[in-house]
């Protein structure tokens, strides 16, 4: 544990050594998430309901998604820099240290300037929870806490999976973004606004529907227009478990592949 | 005690070769092709070979970065890939072109972070750091961010970083590459000092043969993935027929005498050169007495010549 703490401290000291740039990053990072939220307001300027939810209800979905994505992105998102490590061979230096590779990479590059974005996401979520008409029960309060945590883990797993592609395909570039940033955009809106194979693949095949939409329905006590039973929202955060399992398997296969082919 | 051992070590890579306009064939290339090694505790071994001979690949397999295609490895009694993190505590690795240091932090802080990562007791860490500071002259740049260090300074930092956890084996991949003469001397002097203690086993790859001549009694030459020489530098010279040369310069022109056990290689009016093929330099000088000699010098065989001959692939097939 001390070893990981040391890695984290090193990263914190490195980033804050560029004070002005750290400050600018801190501020500018809020914008991306702020724009996502702003988009929802724009949408509601032309419609009263979106996928069966009104503005305040839709903001619960958006806030939960923003909170989960921004935090997951801050904690694990920089794993996508693995392409750089693999291509330049710096990954070798990671492998000769007495720690597992994944936590090292995460902590070596932890983007602390994204803290502001995670804080903004959490704020949007809290405000939306306050503004929406929720019949609070102890169960709902618990779900309101657990759902974004599950979302963070889920997005973390998505980041790890898409980054692992680098072990097979060094110049994977934008491919992973379709699932990470694409997943964020997808989870910002009620799943009921999508349709067809695209909805089935993203929402249920990859599990993005369970990150924010179903937990939000359970919090709001609303039925699902698509027709899934009400209890789905209560167990939706568990989607993080298979996602984590899959990510661990793919990551390990990736490391094995790296160590058997080299840079 | 054997610290590093490898038997039948082999590593294949798949490369795609372009054939025709769009088609690419997969072809298997053996970067390391049946290497056997046994290195004892405290040895200093130079591992040399031309670019692409398989030096770095071997080192990566010994440190657990790459999985061998075939063969057995044991380093400090551990299996490098399976017990990678355990092995990492017991070895030090310096990749000449890859840094272990935190780019934006002062050297001192990188060392402190490494102390935590390797869980070194503070007293041991302090003692080792003190020794490195003295031997490598680190004090003047200990508080400078690594990104502002010169290559020579950074390399001295890398060496320290690799040694702070007290490794039993030190692997160095091109530790003097790109350094100026003074820094090279500093690094070599430090490594020689380290080797003299006899506690650390040292294996280094290099292109700079002076590194080897100064540091390593034992030399492993690898070419096309195979060890083509394993022994002392003298043995290499003996095997590939490199000889000491005696250069004689004269005050006035004279004819060179025939000497048994020495071959005349060049003759000009005021200078001639013999290669010693059996006679000693002393015997030769006795035969030269009476000539108007201005100066005599004995040129030791140059390892670079031998190795260059090895690399250009003349007779290297008969591995011992």
Each residue's pLDDT tens digit, A152-165 = 999 999 999 999 98
pLDDT exceeds 90 at position A248: yes
Which residue's entry shows tokens 């083509």? B228
pLDDT exceeds 90 at position A125: yes
Domain ranges of chain A: 2-261
Name which of B60, B81, B119 is nearest A92 (Cβ-Cβ). B60
Share of chain A above pLDDT 90, in %: 41
pLDDT exceeds 70 at position B319: no
Q: What is the pLDDT of residues B37-79, one digit of tens each?
A: 999 999 999 998 877 788 888 999 999 998 899 999 999 999 9
For residue A91, give how far its alpha carbon lies from the nearest alpha carbon of chain B (Å): 9
Name which of B60, B110, B117 is nearest A262 (Cβ-Cβ). B60
Q: What does pTM read for this prediction?
A: 0.80
**pLDDT, mean of residues B150-157:** 90
Choose between A80 and B169: higher pLDDT.
Answer: B169
Cβ contact (<8 Å) for A10 and B109? yes
User: Looking at residue B283, what is its pLDDT?
Assistant: 85
pLDDT exceeds 80 at position B202: yes
Burial zone of B316 (CB within 10 Å; 0-12 exposed, 13-18 middle, 19+ buried): middle
pLDDT exceeds 70 at position A262: no
User: Looking at residue A171, what is its pLDDT?
Assistant: 67
Cβ contact (<8 Å) for A7 and B60? no
User: Looking at residue B320, what is its pLDDT?
Assistant: 39
Q: What is the pLDDT of residues A188-236, one digit of tens each?
A: 999 988 988 989 999 999 999 999 999 999 999 999 888 889 899 999 9
Q: What is the pLDDT of residues B21-46, one digit of tens each?
A: 777 788 888 889 999 999 999 999 99
For B81, the closest chain A residue by CA position comes to: A259
Share of chain B above pLDDT 90, in %: 36
* B297 close to A (CB below 8 A): no
User: Looking at residue A173, what is its pLDDT?
Assistant: 64
User: Looking at residue B314, what is its pLDDT?
Assistant: 54
Do residues B87 and B76 touch, judged by C-beta distance below 8 A?
A: yes
Highest mean pLDDT, choosing among A191-195, A247-251, B219-223: A247-251
pLDDT exceeds 80 at position B219: yes
Top residue of B55, B110, B116 to mutate, by most chain A CBs within 10 Å, is: B116
Name which of A17, A18, A260 is nearest B67 (Cβ-Cβ). A260
User: Looking at residue B127, what is its pLDDT?
Assistant: 93
Top residue of B54, B88, B100, B117 to mutate, by most chain A CBs within 10 Å, is: B117
Tell me the chain B residues in contact with residue A95 when contact means C-beta distances shorter than 8 Å.
63-65, 84
Q: What is the pLDDT of residues B78-93, one digit of tens each?
A: 999 889 999 999 999 9
Q: B122-136 vs B181-196: helix axis angle to the nearest 10? A: 130
Cβ contact (<8 Å) for A14 and B104? yes
For residue B86, give how far its alpha carbon lies from the nearest alpha carbon of chain A (Å): 6
Name the CATH architecture for the domain at B243-300. 2-Layer Sandwich (3.30)
Tell me the chain A residues in contact with residue B93 when contact means C-beta distances shorter than 8 Å.
96
For residue A101, give how far its alpha carbon lies from the nearest alpha carbon of chain B (Å): 10
- Compute the count of residue pairs across chains A and B with CB atoms less than 8 Å apart: 87
For residue A89, give how far its alpha carbon lies from the nearest alpha carbon of chain B (Å): 8
User: What is the CB-side half-sphere exposure of residue B209 using CA atoms within 13 A?
Assistant: 14
Reported as a pLDDT band with limits 50, 70 and 90, residue B210 is confident
Q: What is the pLDDT of residues B265-282, one digit of tens each?
A: 888 888 888 888 878 888
Domain ranges of chain B: 2-238, 243-300
Name which of B57, B98, B113 is nearest A6 (Cβ-Cβ). B113
User: Looking at residue B316, what is its pLDDT?
Assistant: 43
Cβ contact (<8 Å) for B116 and A98? no
Query: Mean pLDDT across chain A, nearest whole number?
Result: 88
Token code pair at residue B313:
């692939």
Cβ contact (<8 Å) for A7 and B100? no
**For residue B16, what is the DSSP state?**
E
User: Looking at residue B233, what is its pLDDT?
Assistant: 80
For residue A162, give how far its alpha carbon lies from the nearest alpha carbon of chain B (Å): 22
**pLDDT, mean of residues A20-48:** 83
User: Looking at residue B17, what is its pLDDT?
Assistant: 79
Tell me the chain A residues in contact with residue B81 when contact means C-beta distances shorter than 8 Å.
259
CA distance B201 to B14: 33
- Return the exposure string of B155-166: e unless at least 16 CB atoms fall within 10 Å of the residue's CB, then b: bbbbbbbbbbbb
Q: What is the pLDDT of residues A99-123, one digit of tens each?
A: 999 998 888 878 888 889 999 999 9
Reported as a pLDDT band with limits 50, 70 and 90, residue B211 is confident
User: Looking at residue B123, what is its pLDDT?
Assistant: 94
Q: Is A227 left (phi over 0), alpha (psi -120 to 50) or beta?
A: left
Choose between B312 and B142: higher pLDDT.
Answer: B142
pLDDT exceeds 60 at position A263: no
- Please, which residues bridge with residue B95 across strands? B98, B173
CA distance B155 to B175: 7
CATH topology (fold) of B2-238? Rossmann fold (3.40.50)
Top residue of B56, B63, B66 to mutate, by most chain A CBs within 10 Å, is: B66
């Amino acid at each position: 544990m001390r070893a990981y703490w040391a890695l984290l401290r090193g990263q914190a000291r490195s980033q804050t050594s560029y004070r002005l740039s750290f400050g600018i990053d801190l501020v500018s990072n809020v914008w991306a998430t702020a724009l996502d939220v702003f988009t929802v307001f724009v949408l509601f300027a032309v419609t009263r309901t979106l996928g069966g939810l009104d503005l305040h209800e839709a903001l619960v979905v958006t806030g939960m998604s923003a909170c989960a994505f921004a935090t997951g992105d801050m904690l694990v998102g920089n794993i996508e820099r693995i392409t750089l490590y693999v291509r330049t061979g710096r990954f070798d230096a990671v492998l000769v240290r007495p720690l597992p590779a994944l936590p090292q990479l995460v902590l070596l590059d932890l983007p602390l300037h994204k803290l502001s974005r995670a804080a903004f996401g959490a704020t949007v979520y809290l405000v939306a929870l306050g503004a929406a008409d929720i019949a609070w029960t102890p169960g709902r309060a618990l779900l309101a806490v657990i759902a974004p945590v599950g979302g963070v883990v889920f997005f973390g797993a998505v980041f790890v999976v898409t980054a692992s592609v680098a072990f097979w395909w060094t110049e994977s570039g934008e491919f992973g973004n379709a699932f990470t940033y694409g997943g964020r955009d997808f989870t910002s809106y009620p799943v009921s606004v999508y349709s067809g194979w695209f909805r089935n693949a993203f929402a249920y095949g990859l599990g993005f529907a369970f990150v924010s939409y179903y937990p939000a329905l359970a919090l709001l006590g609303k039925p699902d227009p698509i027709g899934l039973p009400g209890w789905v929202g209560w167990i939706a955060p568990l989607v993080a478990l298979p996602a984590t399992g899959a990510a661990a398997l793919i990551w390990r296969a990736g490391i094995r592949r790296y160590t058997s082919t080299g840079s | 005690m054997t610290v590093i051992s490898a038997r039948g070590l082999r590593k294949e890579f798949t490369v795609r070769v372009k054939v025709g306009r769009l088609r690419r064939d997969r072809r298997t290339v053996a970067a390391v092709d049946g290497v056997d090694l046994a290195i004892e505790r405290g040895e200093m071994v130079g591992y040399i070979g031309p670019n692409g001979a398989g030096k770095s690949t071997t080192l990566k397999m010994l440190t657990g970065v790459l999985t061998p295609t075939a063969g057995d490895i044991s380093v400090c009694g551990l299996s490098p890939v399976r017990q990678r993190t355990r092995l990492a505590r017991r070895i030090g690795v310096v990749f000449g072109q890859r840094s272990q240091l935190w780019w934006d932090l002062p050297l001192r802080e990188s060392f402190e972070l490494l102390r935590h990562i390797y869980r070194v007791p503070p007293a041991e860490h302090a003692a080792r750091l003190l020794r490195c500071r003295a031997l490598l002259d680190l004090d003047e740049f200990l508080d400078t961010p690594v990104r502002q260090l010169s290559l020579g300074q950074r390399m001295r930092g890398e060496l320290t970083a690799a040694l702070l956890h007290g490794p039993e084996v030190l692997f160095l991949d091109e530790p003097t590459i790109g350094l100026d003469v003074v820094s090279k001397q500093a690094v070599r002097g430090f490594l020689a000092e380290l080797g003299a203690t006899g506690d650390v086993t040292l294996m280094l790859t290099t292109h700079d043969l002076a590194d080897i001549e100064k540091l390593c009694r034992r030399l492993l030459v690898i070419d096309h993935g195979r060890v083509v020489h394993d022994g002392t530098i003298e043995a290499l010279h003996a095997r590939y027929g490199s000889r000491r040369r005696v250069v004689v310069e004269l005050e006035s022109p004279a004819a060179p005498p025939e000497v048994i056990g020495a071959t005349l290689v060049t003759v000009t009016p005021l200078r001639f050169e013999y290669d010693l093929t059996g006679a000693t330099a002393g015997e030769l000088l006795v035969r030269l007495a009476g000539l108007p000699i201005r100066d005599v010098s004995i040129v030791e065989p140059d390892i670079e010549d031998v190795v260059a001959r090895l690399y250009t692939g003349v007779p290297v097939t008969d591995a011992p």
